[in-house]
């Protein structure tokens, strides 16, 4: 591997979040991250070299090693990513039709946000938009302290999340949505995340 290849923190964070407790192949990672297979191969080689990941021969994909799992355990104390989102129902009036979305969770001391910076980051990353929700005690509400209306439904079991911010990015492609989430997590947490990404 060429040691001079540099990866953006956004690429490194998204790569680790996607591999959290699962095995993914180059093709799937390339599709989710919006990067070429060659770039993904280099990213895998980088993390294999520092013993965060290992790659199986054939169709086994790439997984986190014990060291990688330890790093993810620390990262999960700060943020996480949810592609499944079966616990969340967002009305088409908010998202529009045929939109895909994913959710990023994070913990921050900076909860006085109106969500505009986060939405702008999402659009710069190619997503159509984003919603920022915050947890205040037992209630989940919009970033501007308005209560969630009937347009957003969260199943009860998810209301006990351990993060104080929920970021929902939506768009026509999964890679733009995931890049938006990665950008927002770094916007709020880069000083804390940097030690896990290098």
Q: 129: part of which helix (H) or strand (E)?
A: strand 129-136
Question: Among the listed ranges 20-34, 84-98, 182-196, which one has the minimum average pLDDT value?
Answer: 84-98
Taking the whole predicted model, whether its pTM rises above 0.75 is answered as yes
Give me the mean pLDDT over the 62-67 stretch. 96
Same fold flag, 9-76 and 79-197: no
pLDDT in tens, 125-173: 999 989 888 887 777 888 777 777 767 777 765 656 778 888 999 999 9
Distances from the Cα of 21 to the Cαs of 2, 16, 54, 64, 81, in angstroms? 28, 10, 13, 7, 12
Distance CA 160, CA 137 (A): 10
Give me the mean pLDDT over the 184-195 stretch. 91
Nearest CA to 20 among 79, 64, 83, 84?
Answer: 64
Query: Predicted confidence band at 1 (pLDDT cuts at 50, 70, 90)?
Result: very low
Could you tell me which residues come within 8 angstroms of residue 73 by beta carbon, excluding any fewer than 6 positions away?
none
Asked if the model's pLDDT at residue 100 lies above 90, the reply is no
Nearest CA to 186 among 50, 14, 31?
Answer: 14
Q: Which CATH superfamily is domain 79-197 in?
A: GAD-like domain (3.30.1360.30)
Residue with structure tokens 């804390």?
Answer: 192
Give the pLDDT score at 176: 92
Asked if the model's pLDDT at residue 124 lies above 70, the reply is yes
Query: Which structure tokens are listed for 157?
Result: 């079991």
Query: Which structure tokens are listed for 98?
Result: 């045929």
Query: Which structure tokens are listed for 45?
Result: 């080689």
Give the pLDDT score at 72: 93
Asked if the model's pLDDT at residue 75 lies above 70, the reply is yes
- Per domain, the residue ranges of the chain are 9-76, 79-197
Could you tell me which residues come within 8 angstroms of residue 127 by beta carbon, excluding any fewer than 6 positions away?
169, 170, 171, 176, 177, 179, 180
Query: Predicted confidence band at 111 (pLDDT cuts at 50, 70, 90)?
Result: low
Distance CA 179, CA 187 (A): 12
CATH class of 9-76: mainly alpha
Query: Which structure tokens are listed for 92?
Result: 């088409």
Asked if the model's pLDDT at residue 105 lies above 80, the reply is yes
Asked if the model's pLDDT at residue 3 lies above 60, the reply is no
Within 13 Å and on the Cβ side, how many CA atoms surround 32? 22
């Amino acid at each position: 591997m060429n040691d001079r290849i540099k990866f953006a923190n956004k690429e490194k964070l998204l790569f680790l979040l996607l591999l959290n407790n699962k095995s993914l192949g180059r093709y799937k990672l390339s599709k989710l991250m919006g990067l070429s297979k060659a770039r993904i191969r280099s990213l895998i080689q980088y993390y294999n070299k520092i013993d965060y990941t290992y790659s199986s021969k054939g169709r086994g994909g790439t997984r986190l090693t014990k060291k990688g799992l330890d790093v993810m355990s620390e990262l999960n104390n700060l943020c996480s990513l949810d592609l499944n989102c079966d616990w969340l129902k967002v009305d088409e009036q908010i998202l529009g039709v045929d939109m895909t979305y994913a959710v990023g969770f994070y913990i921050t001391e900076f909860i006085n946000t109106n969500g505009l910076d986060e939405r702008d980051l999402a659009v710069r990353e190619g997503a159509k938009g984003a919603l920022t929700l915050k947890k205040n005690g037992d209630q989940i509400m919009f970033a501007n302290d308005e209560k969630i209306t009937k347009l957003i439904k969260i199943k009860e079991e998810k209301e006990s999340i351990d993060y104080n911010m929920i970021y929902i990015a939506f768009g026509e492609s999964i890679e733009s949505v995931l890049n938006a989430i990665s950008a927002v997590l770094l916007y709020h947490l880069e000083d804390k995340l940097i030690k896990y990404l290098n």
